[in-house]
Structure 1
Amino acid sequence: MATHYLDFEKPIADLEAKIEELSLLSSTAGSFESEIEGLRKKAENLRKKTYASLDPWMKTAVARHPQRPHFIDYISGLFTDFVELKGDRQFGDDQAILGGLARFRGQPVVVMGHEKGHDTQTRLTHNFGMARPEGYRKAVRLMDMAEQYGLPVLSFVDTAGAYPGLGAEERGQAEAIARSTERGLTLGVPSIATITGEGGSGGAIAIASASRVLMLEHSIYSVISPEGAAGILWRDGARAKDAAMAMKITGPDLMELKIVDRIIPEPTGGAHADRDAAISKVGDVLVEELKALTPLSPEQLRKDRADRFYAIGRLG
């Protein structure tokens, strides 16, 4: 897969293009190994320096990176015996939210998440991760099943927001999101939500109302996209960068506001730079969080979850 470079990665791209050029020359015009090694070290140091100081708009670009691991990658990397369950038993099946039963490192769980797709065809199939009402009603169905059988719920959030189309609104988009959010808050089993890319608006919180909310280091989580906020505030979507800088959408700010509980470090260069390492790290953190939640009773889980969400936005 060809590397996709973001705008702020251009200096890194230039160095790696030079490395590739010298590597090709080495096969025909002598060895350039020392020069290549020097450029590799320079590119790696530049990548570390760049990713250590990303601003919110840069992190937004990383969170949306097309090669970032998606839900199906987490399924294949972390879970075994996955059985997808389709449909909301009311209207149809929504492919923007996938879910079902699986084993997570040997433990039975219910798992669900947004899937954006990785090429034109799959992005259309999964509607770019923007779910319709039947997607959220499927999520409720999965959570009901989890509680019935005493299974933990693991959700993976990566969406720009719920689908805003006419059909979705006619079928009760707002009500479906509210019901899914409510079901997450009232679960009597452990639940952990991980923001793996974008966590946008009600489309995200509908499956992120969990006992623990985690996010990857370069993910974002917000009530609206920066472009949407800029359009509302200044009637100018081009000011999305200004909105991103003001909205407090990155991990450190969200930790301070008690909106997320833990930030999961990413490999240098972002999760897309070493997908296997990023997925494995998420798995390790999920094991730790599940270990802490599993001993709690259903009543304690509900109380702790309520206390957690009531604490958001409170001062002192």
Structure 2
Amino acid sequence: MPDMMRAVEISVPGGPEMLVETQRPVPKPAAGEIVIKVAYAGVNRPDVLQRAGAYDPPPGASDLPGLEASGEVVAIGSGVSGWALGDKVCALLPGGGYAEYAVTPAAHALPVPDGLGLDEAAALPETYFTVFSNVFMRGGLKAGERFLVHGGSSGIGTTAIQLANVFGARVFATAGSDAKCAACLALGAEKVINYRDEDFVEMLRAEGGADLILDMVGGEYLPRNVKALAMDGRLVQIAFLQGPKVALNFAQVMVRRLTITGSTLRPQSDLAKARIAQALREQVWPLIAAGRVGPVMDSEFALIDAAQAHARMESSDHIGKIVLKV
């Protein structure tokens, strides 16, 4: 491996134009880690927040953006088993994906599913770790339950619709245009609400209420989500695009025995992420290999065009995942 690599860094917090090309030392693996020669890196909303100065990387993580990547294992730290040099992998990263090489705990990597290219594989880790851990491990979604996901055409949304559908839930979604609504229906949603024209609360209550809601909007959606839940319903919060503070009547939570929970993925322990990876490998990766679920790809940009990729994400015009070709 070379000593130096191309990368894209955040020069100062601000808009997409603050993403600039730079040279960085190639990372070396510590015990339990692998180094990946990056083929593609996924672009995610936390990258945008980090660029804007609103989401600092955890202690010890690379300051470079990029929370998922695909590529080839080119270096292996001590104590690692199960991976060999040359293996094709996709991995959840603590940061550093916008670069030619990235380091990550070996237990956070997964094999590239049969039938997928490296571009599609790079679009898997961040969304699949997030959705599976929050919808199934934390939210406890069961077959036959009514599930509502907001932002159904996003990377998180398209993944959640497919997984909930394949595991037998009744899936509902919200989206912001007719094209996005059509995309959600094609992925297996039973009904999709265009939030610009319709009220998701009324629709869900007409269906008996949602047993589980996955929300990344927050703000004024929080009391509306509570109204849309069925008895014993669960709300899982994973982001706050409209802000985390709102007035909420908790009497409804008590009377209808509701559960409000949430999580963020990046600050969780290496062990917690390894457990999610193992669950995905056992329960979801066979479904991807069989073609029953998979990434929805929106667009691809060169690494040096990361600013354009961020602008695309912030426009909210995308359907599915955006990746950088490294």
Establish whether TM, by shorter chain, passes 0.5.
no
How high is the TM-score relative to the length of structure 2? 0.29
- TM-score with structure 1 length normalisation? 0.30
Report which of the two structures shows the higher radius of gyration computed on alpha carbons: 1
